[in-house]
Chains A and B, each alone.
Chain A
Amino acid sequence: MRTAALAFRIALILVITSAVPAIASAQAQPSNTYAITHAKIFTLAGNPIEDGTVVFREGKIIAVGAGIDIPAGAQVKDAKGLQVYPGMFDSITQMGLREIGAVSATVDSTETGSYNPDVIAATAVSPSSEHIPVTRAAGITEVLAVPGSGGFDSGGSNGIIGGQASAIHLAGWVIDEMLIKKSAAMVLRWPEIETQTFDFATFSRKEKPYSEAKQEYDKQVNEITDWLERARHYAQVMEKSSPAKYDRDVKLEALAPVVRRELPVLVFADRAREIRNAVEFCDKQELRMILAGGAEAYKVKDLLRSKGVPVILRPMLTLPPDEDDPYDRLLSQPAELAAAGVKFAIASFDNSFARRLGQNAANAVAHGLPYDEALRAVTIYPAQIFGLGDQIGTIEPGKLANLIVTNGDPLELTTDVKYLFIRGQLTSMENRHLRLYEKYSKRPKAQ
Chain B
Amino acid sequence: MKGSTGFFIHAKDLRFRNLLFFLCLPLAASAAPPDAPSVIVIRNATILTVSHGNIEHGSILIKDGKIAEVGQSVSAPKDAQVIDAAGQFVIPGIIDCHSHIAAESINEGSVSLSSMVNMAEILNPEDIDIYRDLAGGVTSANILHGSANAIGGQTLVIKLRWGQPAAKLPFEGALPGIKFALGENPKRSNFSVPGQPRRYPATRMGVEETIRGAFSEARDYKKAWDEYNKRIGAGEKNLIAPRHDLRLEPLVEVLEGKRYVHSHCYREDEILMLLRVAKEFGFRVRTFQHVLEGYKVADELAAAGVGASTFSDWWAYKVEAYDAIPYNAALMTQRGVIVSINSDDAEEATHLNQEAAKSMKYGGLSHDEALKMVTLNPAMQLGIDKRVGTIDVGKDADLAIYNRDPLSAYAVVQKTLIDGRIYFDLQRDIAERAEREKEKKALIDKFKKAAEKKPEEKKPDAASQKPGEKKPEEKKPEVKKPEEKPRPPQSGGTDAGSAVTLGGAL
Contact = CB atoms under 8 A, between A and B. Distances in A.
Interface stretch (A20-28, A40-48, A395-403, A409-417): A409-417
Interface stretch (A71-79, A229-237, A435-443): A435-443
A268 B325 contact: no
A317 B347 contact: yes
A399 B354 CA distance: 34
B365 to A, nearest CB: 10
Nearest to A155: B501
A348 to B, nearest CB: 7
Interface string B178-190: 0000001000011
A418 B408 CA distance: 20
Contacts of A319: 129, 132, 346-347, 490
Interface stretch (A146-154, A172-180, A239-247): A146-154
Interface stretch (B22-30, B203-211, B371-379): B22-30
Given A101-B318, A102-B6, A356 B497 contact: no
Contacts of A352: 314-317, 486, 488
Interface in A314-333: 314-319, 321-324, 326-328
Nearest to B436: A324
Contacts of A298: none
A360 to B, nearest CB: 7
A314 B360 contact: no
Contact of B492 (A350, A367, A433): A350
A152 B486 contact: yes
5 contacts: A152-B501, A205-B15, A352-B488, A413-B358, A433-B327
Contacts of A436: 295, 323, 325, 327
B195 to A, nearest CB: 9
Contacts of A317: 347, 350-351, 488-489
A365 B404 CA distance: 13
Contacts of A67: none
List the 4 closest A-B pairs by CB distance, nearest first: A349-B492, A150-B496, A315-B489, A362-B409
Interface in B23-62: 23-24, 27-28
A152 B503 CA distance: 12
Given A205-B14, A319-B132, A356 B24 contact: no
A110 B479 CA distance: 27
Interface stretch (A196-204, A248-256, A376-384): A196-204
Contacts of A351: 316
B358 A157 contact: no
A157 to B, nearest CB: 6
Interface of A is mostly: loop
Contacts of B321: 100
B131 A327 contact: yes
A152 B15 contact: no
B324 to A, nearest CB: 8
B246 interface: no
A242 B212 CA distance: 78
Interface stretch (B236-244, B254-262, B296-304, B392-400): B296-304
B357 interface: yes
A53 to B, nearest CB: 28
Given A158-B497, A315-B489, A352-B317, 11 more contacts: A149-B496, A152-B8, A156-B497, A196-B18, A201-B194, A293-B493, A353-B488, A413-B357, A437-B325, A437-B331, A440-B296
Interface residues on B, range: 35 or more
B412 A415 contact: no
B135 interface: yes
A148 B492 CA distance: 10
Interface in A197-224: 197-198, 200-201, 203-205
Interface of A: 92, 99-103, 110, 130-131, 134, 148-159, 189-190, 194, 196-198, 200-201, 203-205, 268-270, 292-293, 314-319, 321-324, 326-328, 348-353, 355-356, 358-360, 362-363, 365-367, 411-416, 432-433, 436-437, 440-441, 443, 445-446
B357 A414 contact: yes
Contacts of A154: 496-497, 499
Contacts of B129: 319
Interface in B159-206: 184, 189-190, 194
B408 A412 contact: yes
B494 A350 contact: no
Given A204-B479, A412-B408, A348 B492 contact: yes
Contact of A433 (B9, B296, B326, B495): B326
A348 B493 CA distance: 9
Contact of A366 (B6, B325, B409, B476): B409
A430 B137 CA distance: 35
B411 interface: yes
B496 A324 contact: no
B361 A362 contact: no
B124 interface: no
B363 A437 contact: yes
Contacts of A159: 497
A100 B429 contact: no
A105 B493 CA distance: 21
Contacts of A328: 135
A196 B476 CA distance: 13
Contacts of A156: 497-500
Nearest to A98: B316
A306 B296 CA distance: 55
Contacts of A205: 14-15, 18, 477, 479
Contacts of A355: 313
Nearest to A324: B24
B319 interface: yes
A431 B258 CA distance: 44
A278 B206 CA distance: 51
A194 B360 CA distance: 45
A61 B283 CA distance: 64
Contacts of A196: 15, 18-19
A19 B103 CA distance: 53
A440 B292 CA distance: 13
A323 B357 contact: no
Contacts of B496: 110, 148-151, 153-154, 157
Contacts of A360: 489
A355 B326 CA distance: 11
